[in-house]
């Protein structure tokens, strides 16, 4: 200010005085463009931009900090009270919940103690249903692995329900999280979509580079061999999904997108479920009405056997693998 002339200093003084005198009258929010009295007519409409006045912003921030402090103090007081005062309700809640938990554990333990011995022939699980599955399962379903024969032939409707539950859960999560993203403005979305470059640890990269193909191969083997050996669509799909997640985690988004991304996942999930429903509808229509099914059961023990179990396993595997991967992708937010 020292560089100013006498005249300039006077002007600055005048201005600051004016601001001090009129600071009460400055509106809390500045509206641009300013509203004129209506002498221009209705030729065109301006879009209003509301800029909050700095003071109002500061007040809001101060209020918010105040609330946070108050809340923390309040909470600490409540906790302190609960610890000090023996008659406070918080103390009784704790006591009641401990007693309730102990009771539930007691009931469960008594139930377990009264169960029939594992594998005993008198157990209710060893009824004619289980005998039928074990004795004629191979003949009727063509699957060497009787578990696969059970869940994908006798009880395939159950498995359909499970797949639909997984599908619905994933679709709901996708819907909710995308809804949230849509409300951000553009800058936020660019931050959210930040390209994840992978982790920097060299040993992790080397180990995953070696094991990743084998994990995927093992998962595919379990899915395809589900009717012959332990495993099947669900466990194999989970292994493939976990392998894809590991790949994304270690090598980053760019490399992972070569294999799969969320959009492909959505299509694959819907496709897998659709194929499952179509195949099973055929089998229910023919089987339940005594119509001759045109799908051969094949020679027991070969890879193309078990009738519909083989393709159904693949469908379940695809749905589960995509579910696991898309849940992972939706939960990651690499910008934070």
Partner 1 sequence: MTTVEILLLLFLIACAISVFFIKNLLNAVIVFMSYSTIMAVLWLSIESPDLAITEAAVGCGVTTLLFILTLKKINALKEEGGEEDERTF
Q: Which of these ranges, 42-50, 228-236, 265-273, 287-295, lies near partner 1 under the rule CB under 8 A? A: 228-236
Q: For residues 109-128, which are near partner 1 according to CB under 8 A?
A: 118
Orientation of helix 309-331 relative to helix 233-256, angle to 10°: 40
- Kindly provide the residue ranges of all beta strands, DSSP E only, lying in the chain, ordered along the sequence: 29-32, 49-52
Q: Which of 55, 65, 193, 333 binds partner 1 (CB under 8 A)?
A: 333
In degrees, to the nearest 5, what angle opens at C-alpha 35 toward C-alphas 23 and 18?
Answer: 20
Q: Which of these ranges, 70-78, 85-93, 172-180, 327-335, lies near partner 1 under the rule CB under 8 A? A: 327-335
* Cβ-count burial 238-269 (b if 16+ within 10 Å, e if not): bbbbbbbbbbbbbbbbeebeeebeeeebeebb
Q: Which of 222, 308, 312, 315 binds partner 1 (CB under 8 A)?
A: 222
Q: Which of 130, 242, 279, 300 binds partner 1 (CB under 8 A)?
A: 242
Q: Which of 126, 130, 147, 300 binds partner 1 (CB under 8 A)?
A: 147
Residue 45, Cβ density class (10 Å: 0-12 exposed, 13-18 middle, ≥19 buried): exposed
235 is a contact residue toward partner 1 (CB under 8 A): yes
The answer to whether 280 and 156 have CB atoms below 8 angstroms apart is yes
Q: Which of 245, 273, 312, 314 binds partner 1 (CB under 8 A)?
A: 245
- Residue 327 beta carbon to partner 1: minimum distance, rounded to whole angstroms: 7
Which of 286/332 has CB closer to partner 1?
332
324 is a contact residue toward partner 1 (CB under 8 A): yes
Distances (CA, A) of 305 to 39, 227, 298, 308: 86, 8, 4, 8
Give the three-class secondary structure for 56. helix
192 is a contact residue toward partner 1 (CB under 8 A): no
32: left (phi over 0), alpha (psi -120 to 50) or beta: beta
Task: Count residues near partner 1 (CB under 8 A).
Answer: 24
Q: Which of 70, 120, 201, 281 binds partner 1 (CB under 8 A)?
A: 201
Residue 292, Cβ density class (10 Å: 0-12 exposed, 13-18 middle, ≥19 buried): exposed
Q: Which of 234, 251, 276, 310 binds partner 1 (CB under 8 A)?
A: 234
Q: Which of these ranges, 9-17, 129-137, 195-203, 285-293, lies near partner 1 under the rule CB under 8 A? A: 195-203
Q: How many whole angstroms separate alpha carbon 98 and alpha carbon 316?
A: 42
Interface contacts to partner 1, rule CB under 8 A: 118, 145, 147, 199-201, 222, 230-232, 234-235, 238-239, 241-242, 245, 324, 327-328, 331-333, 336
């Amino acid at each position: 200010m020292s560089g100013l002339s006498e005249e300039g200093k006077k002007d600055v003084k005048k201005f600051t005085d004016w601001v001090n005198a009129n600071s009460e009258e400055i509106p809390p929010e500045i509206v641009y463009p300013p509203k004129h009295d209506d002498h221009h007519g209705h030729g065109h409409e301006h879009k209003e931009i509301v800029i909050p006045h700095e003071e109002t912003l500061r007040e809001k921030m101060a209020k918010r900090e105040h609330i946070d402090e108050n809340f923390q103090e309040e909470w600490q007081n409540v906790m302190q009270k609960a610890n000090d005062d023996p008659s406070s309700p918080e103390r009784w809640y704790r006591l009641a919940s401990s007693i309730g938990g102990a009771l539930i554990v007691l009931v469960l333990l008594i139930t377990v103690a009264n169960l029939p011995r594992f594998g005993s022939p008198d157990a209710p699980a060893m009824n004619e249903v289980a005998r039928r599955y074990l004795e004629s399962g191979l003949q009727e379903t063509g699957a060497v692995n009787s578990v696969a024969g059970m869940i994908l032939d006798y009880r395939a409707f159950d498995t359909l329900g499970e797949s639909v539950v997984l599908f619905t859960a994933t679709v709901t999560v996708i819907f909710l999280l995308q809804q949230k993203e849509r409300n951000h403005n553009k800058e936020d979305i660019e931050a959210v979509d930040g390209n994840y470059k992978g982790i920097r640890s060299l040993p992790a990269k080397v180990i995953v580079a070696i094991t990743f193909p084998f994990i995927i191969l093992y998962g595919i083997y379990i899915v395809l061999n589900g009717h012959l050996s332990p495993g099947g669509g669900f466990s194999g799909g989970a292994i493939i999904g976990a392998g894809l997640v590991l790949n994304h985690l270690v090598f980053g988004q760019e490399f992972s997108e070569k294999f799969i991304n969320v959009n492909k996942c959505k299509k694959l999930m819907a496709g897998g479920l659709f194929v499952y429903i179509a195949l099973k509808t055929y089998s229910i229509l023919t089987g339940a009405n005594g119509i001759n099914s045109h799908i051969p059961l094949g020679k027991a023990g070969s890879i193309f056997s078990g009738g519909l179990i083989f393709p159904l396993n693949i469908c379940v595997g695809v749905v589960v693998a995509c579910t696991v991967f898309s849940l992972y992708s939706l939960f990651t937010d690499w910008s934070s």
